[in-house]
Amino acid sequence: MESLRSQVAIVGAADTEVGVVPHLSATQLYVKAAKLALEDAGITKEQVDGLITCTSFVEPYMYHAEMIAEYMQIFPRYCLNVATGGGTTLAIMHHAASAIATGVCNTVLITMADNMLSGLSRDRAIEAMSTAGHAQFERPYGPPIPGFYALIAQAHMHAYGTTSEQLAAVAVACRKHASLNPAAQMRQPITIDDVLNSKMIAHPLHLLDCSLVSDGGAAVVMTSAERAKDFKNRPVYMLGVGEGHSHEHISQARSLTTSAAKEAGERAYAMAGLGPKDIDVAELYDCFTPVVIIELEDLGFCPKGEGGRFVEGGRIELGGELPLNTHGGLMSHCHPGHPGSLFSITEAVHQLRGECGPRQVKEAEIALVHGQGGIMSTHCSMILGKERG
């Protein structure tokens, strides 16, 4: 389990403009993110020998990573496309770390983008919303995507007394952080009442319990910890990584209130030799507010059932015990689909480099990033550090 500990580092990290970006296609967003990350790393594309992408919903290609390599005229020896929904980013980085640590390749460019907001026709937007769920055993019952997560929220509220106000506190914290981030899509601060008074989508989830639909791209460059010292910026080291996979369809979930984030987190902590108390800043997957509450529990920041109480009183806001989603998260920064959690990685890198201005977490040395895909189906946790450890 310790084989990847401190073996690789992130040496470049960048986002494109996000939110409403009608002037760039999905493919162009991938390539722009890649170019920005290479510039941040201070290297040329000829120095990249591994390329990994996520699938684009808007502009899909059978061989997507090859398509981006072709477009950029990069000729990698390691080329891979990964799709595990919102868990994709971290799973990709896990693959990249394994490839680097085993000497398969030296320098991996990971680029992810999509334009779910500007790039879809009406028909494809409907398709995007209605093709989630099992074709025979779920879709006939008309569950919208927020409805799948509402099942989880309702179960958690029933089992542990979690309240709508507590769910709302997650959205409020994300928006507060977004208000300090000039790049974020939604920056106007909101209150708990604003969330509770927003339109009910699928009880108990209101409109403001749901994340955004966005355009945008992000990219990172990873290399071995040894090589990392030669790059322009201070490296950020991967101290631990772990995955957990429990189901595809929510109707088959082992539990609605405990997720495979538990296994993912335990594996990442074990590799890093660290625990929840060591984390200075957390970037947790926040497609819907209840997800954050369950992740906080499953990642060991509080006991099972205490997540609702944990997010109260500003504990998860800047200046609180565990500031999370400091860029604004999927809730308020942006959510272009698969790439969503890569913005959590770029934010964590910038936090650990101390580059976040008014939203900087003081003395941030260790960050935990968690990605979740499907309907609480695939999970990957990653612990990043300023020092190699």
Partner 1 sequence: MAAPASKPVPVPTRETQPYWEGCKQHELRIQKCPACGHHQFYPRLYCTACMSDRVEWVKASGRGKVLSFTIVYRPVTQAFAADVPYVVALITLDEGPQLMSNVVGCPPEKVQIGMPVEVTFEDWTEDISVPKFKPV
The yes or no reply on residue 12 touching partner 1 (CB under 8 A) is no
> In one letter, which amino acid is 381?
S
Q: DSSP states of 251-310 as a string? A: GG-S-SSS-THHHHHHHHHHHHT--GGG-SEEEE--SBHHHHHHHHHHTTSS-TT-HHHH
Binding mask 174-213 for partner 1 (x = CB under 8 A): -------------------------xxxxxxx--------
Interface segment toward partner 1; rule CB under 8 A; list 40-48, 79-87, 249-257, 275-283: 249-257
Which residue, 36 or 250, has its beta carbon nearer to partner 1? 250
Residue 186 C-beta: closest distance to partner 1, Å: 19
d(C-alpha 378, C-alpha 86), whole Å: 8
Residue 192 C-beta: closest distance to partner 1, Å: 20
The yes or no reply on residue 122 touching partner 1 (CB under 8 A) is no
The yes or no reply on residue 22 touching partner 1 (CB under 8 A) is no
Interface segment toward partner 1; rule CB under 8 A; list 35-43, 52-60, 128-136, 189-197: 128-136
Residue 288 C-beta: closest distance to partner 1, Å: 11
Choose among 334, 372, 33, 12: nearest CA to 174.
Answer: 334
Which residue, 1 or 200, has its beta carbon nearer to partner 1? 200
Interface segment toward partner 1; rule CB under 8 A; list 25-33, 60-68, 247-255, 296-304: 247-255
Among 137, 161, 355, 387, binds partner 1 (CB under 8 A): 137
Question: Which of positions 310-339 make contact with partner 1 (CB under 8 A)?
Answer: none
The yes or no reply on residue 140 touching partner 1 (CB under 8 A) is yes
First to last CA, the chain: 16
100 token code pair: 């680097």
Residue 209 C-beta: closest distance to partner 1, Å: 12
d(C-alpha 101, C-alpha 158), whole Å: 45
Residue 260 C-beta: closest distance to partner 1, Å: 17
d(C-alpha 204, C-alpha 86), whole Å: 22
97 token code pair: 């770390």
Strands 50-54 and 107-115: parallel
Which residue, 109 or 150, has its beta carbon nearer to partner 1? 150
What distance lies between CA 137 and its chain's CA centroid?
A: 29
Choose among 147, 186, 177: nearest CA to 290.
Answer: 147
Task: Report CA-CA distances (Å) from 343 to 62, 106, 334.
Answer: 25, 23, 8
Residue 151 C-beta: closest distance to partner 1, Å: 4
Strands 8-15 and 236-245: antiparallel
Which residue, 23 or 199, has its beta carbon nearer to partner 1? 199
**How many residues are listed for the chain in this entry?**
389
13 token code pair: 């990290």
Inter-residue contact 91 to 383 (CB < 8 Å):
no
The yes or no reply on residue 135 touching partner 1 (CB under 8 A) is yes
The yes or no reply on residue 232 touching partner 1 (CB under 8 A) is no
Binding mask 143-162 for partner 1 (x = CB under 8 A): xx-xx--xxx-xx--x----
The yes or no reply on residue 141 touching partner 1 (CB under 8 A) is yes
Which residue, 179 or 246, has its beta carbon nearer to partner 1? 246
Q: Give residues in contact with partner 1 (CB under 8 A).
A: 126, 129-130, 133-144, 146-147, 150-152, 154-155, 158, 199-205, 250-252, 256
